[in-house]
Amino acid sequence: MTQSSLEIWTIIGLLGIGTFLIRFSFLGMIGERPLPDWLLRHLRYTPVAVLPALVAPMVVWPQATGGETDPARMLAALATLGVGHVTKNVLAAIAAGAVTLYGMLFLLG
Amino acid sequence: MSASNVRSAYWTGVRHGAPFVLVIMPFGLLFGVVGTEAGLNIAEVMGFSILVIAGAAQFTAVQLMVDQAPTMLVLATALAVNLRMAMYSAALTPHLGGAPLWQRALAAYFLVDQTYALAQARYESRPEMSLGERLAYYAGSITPVCPMWYVATLAGALAGQAIPPEFALDFAVPITFLAMVAPALRTLAHVAAVGTSVAVALTLAFLPYQAGVLIAGLVAMMVGAQVELRMGNRE
């Protein structure tokens, strides 16, 4: 990371304010104004829309291997998704991913 | 509303929030470790966890900062991750909207995935709860969850520099995010959103500073909403 301390604190501060404003958005208003359906429909998909986009390049071209596709990391990602989908349990999914990653790194060297 | 009802609502919240410590603790530790490894000092790592208090967005911001993304792009992408909280805020407003402004502001600060899920389920199953009981339950659910986030982050930041690269911590963030996404694949619309997100992100990976992430996120959100509309709201 090459950002200056000022840049880092600017990001932390603005991200903190922005996140608070998102959380406060409707709670902050007086009275009950329900969100329009179309907006709710889009907001519902924010986690499944943004997080995979962030993760996909890290899984396919990991920085730790210089961008070379790595079977251990690929299998760990699949194990995490599979166990998470079946068990609906975040911790079990993380454990499955970690065990697969370390197991494969050990086996494949 | 009696004081004893409020007190018991608070302790019910504490009991219901307690199991989430098992999720928050490793996640907070990991943020402390990853943030420190990325080059943040302890004050900056703690600044993230206390001022932002949103794990996925914090990891996103740190990842983009390591990639030297411009500040505006870091903020836009991390805030996009948090957009779901507008939905939480809207959902809780009918239940907490009658509280004074400072209490609603405090509730908003502590509105994380876990406290939202607990409060929403509780308020819907017990519509007879008074406003005082609702607020007490909410405060109770926060009590084990949010302070643990700060403490775990600090512990991770202190341990961070001591962890060697053989532990492949670079992959802790992808695994954590995938683990959060996988249980959400309940409907065709969710699956379509994930598929679109991955396809667009990989296609646009040549763009500098991970600008493709934000584009992929917006496109995937629209695809999810469209599929839901066509399929009828099926869970």
Hey, where are the domains in chain A? 1-31, 34-108
Q: Which of B81-90, B117-126, B220-229 has the highest mean pLDDT?
A: B220-229
User: Binning pLDDT at 50, 70 and 90, where does residue B183 land?
Assistant: confident
Q: Which residues of A touch B200 (CB under 8 A)?
A: 53
Q: How far apart are CA B71 and CA B210, in angstroms?
A: 12
Summary count for chain B: helices (H), strands (E): 12, 0
Q: Give the whole-angstrom CA distance, residue B38 versus residue A24.
A: 30
CB–CB contact B228 A44 (8 Å): yes
Mean pLDDT of B22-48: 91
Across the interface, of B82, B165, B174, the residue whose CB is closest to A22 is B82
pLDDT in tens, B46-98: 999 999 999 889 999 998 999 889 999 999 999 988 888 888 898 888 889 88
B81-112 burial, b at 16+ Cβ within 10 Å, e below that, comes to bbbbbbbbbbbbbebbbbbeeebbebbbbbbb
Is B158 in the same domain as B227? Answer: no
pLDDT at B37 over 60: yes
Rounded to whole angstroms, the Cα distance separating B157 from B46 reads 8
Would you state the pLDDT for residue B3? 81
The helix-helix angle for B131-160 and B3-17 (nearest 10°) equals 30
CB B186 within 8 A of CB B177: no
Rounded-to-integer distance, Cα B53 and Cα A20, Å: 9
pLDDT band at B223 (very low <50, low <70, confident <90, very high): very high
Question: Does the pLDDT at position A2 exceed 90?
Answer: no
| Statement to judge: residues B35 and B116 lie in one domain | yes
> Are B126 and B206 contained in the same domain?
no
pLDDT digits (tens, 9 = 90+) for A27-83: 987 555 666 788 888 888 887 888 899 889 889 998 778 888 999 999 999 999 999
**Token pair 């519902």 in the structure block, residue:** A44
Shortest distance between the Cα of A35 and any Cα of chain B, in A, equals 7
Does B126 share its domain with B91? Answer: yes
- Which residue, among B84, B147, B148, has the nearest Cα to B116 in the 3D structure? B84
| B51 closest CB neighbour out of A13, A23, A89 | A13
- Average pLDDT of the residues in B149-153: 96
CA–chain centroid gap for A100, Å, is: 19
pLDDT score at B91:
81
**pLDDT over threshold 60, residue B1:** no
**Closest chain A C-alpha to B157 CA, distance in angstroms:** 16
23-62 of A, contacting B, C-beta below 8 A: 23-35, 38, 40-62
- Nearest Cβ partner for B220 among A8, A45, A59: A45
- Judged by CB atoms closer than 8 Å, whether chains meet at A20 and B108 is answered as yes
Decide if pLDDT at B233 tops 70.
Answer: no
- Residue B177 resides in a domain: no
pLDDT at B81: 85
Q: Is the pLDDT of residue B190 over 60?
A: yes
Q: Which residues contact B198 (CB under 8 A, 6 or more apart)?
A: A52, A53, A56, B216
| pLDDT, position B186 | 87
Residue B179 lies in a domain: no
Q: Is residue B19 part of a domain?
A: yes
**How many independent structural domains does chain B possess?**
2
Give me the mean pLDDT over the B136-149 stretch. 96
Q: Which of A3, A15, A24, A65 to mutate to test the interface with B (most CBs of B within 10 A)?
A: A15
Band of residue B32 on the pLDDT scale cut at 50, 70, 90: very high
Asked if B23 and B107 sit in the same domain, the reply is: yes
- In angstroms, the Cα distances linking B150 to B144, B147, B153 are 11, 5, 5
- Both B79 and B45 in a single domain? yes
Would you say residue B174 lies in a domain? no
B62 and B156 both lie in a single domain? yes
Whether residue B158 lies inside any domain: the answer is yes
Query: Which two tokens mark B67?
Result: 């990639």
Together in a domain, B91 and B35: yes
More confident residue, B8 or B19: B8
d(CA A62, CA B201): 14
CB contact under 8 A, A48 and B197: yes
Alpha carbon of A25: minimum distance to chain B alpha carbons (Å): 6
Residues within 8 A of A (CB atoms), B 132-191 only: 165, 168, 170-185, 189-190
- Residues whose CB is less than 8 angstroms from the CB of residue B96 and which lie 6 or more positions away in sequence, other chains included: A27, B103, B104, B107, B131, B134, B135, B138
- Check A23 against B109: CB less than 8 A apart: yes
Tokens of B56: 């996925």
- Same-domain check for residues B134 and B224: no
Is B196 part of any domain? yes
Between CA A91 and CA A80 the distance in angstroms is 10
Q: For A109, name the nearest residue in chain B, comparing CA atoms only.
A: B166
Query: Which pLDDT value is given to residue A33?
Result: 62
Residue A37: what pLDDT?
83
Measured CA to CA, the distance from residue B176 to residue B187 in angstroms comes to: 21
pLDDT of A6 higher than 70: yes
> Directed axis angle between helix A46-60 and helix B211-231, to 10°?
130
* From A55-69, A93-107, B187-201, the region with the lowest mean pLDDT: A55-69
The domain of B223 spans 185-231
> Is B172 within a domain?
no
Is residue B175, in this structure, part of any structural domain at all?
Answer: no
State yes or no: pLDDT of B107 exceeds 70. yes
For the cut 60, the answer to whether the pLDDT of residue B113 exceeds it is: yes
Within an 8 Å CB–CB cutoff, is residue A88 touching chain B? yes
Cα separation, A8 vs B40, whole angstroms? 8
B113 and B200 fall within a common domain: no
Contacts (Cβ under 8 Å, ≥6 apart) of B1: B130, B131, B132, B133
Cα distance between residue A75 and residue B212, in whole Å = 24
* pLDDT bucket at A109, cuts 50 / 70 / 90: low
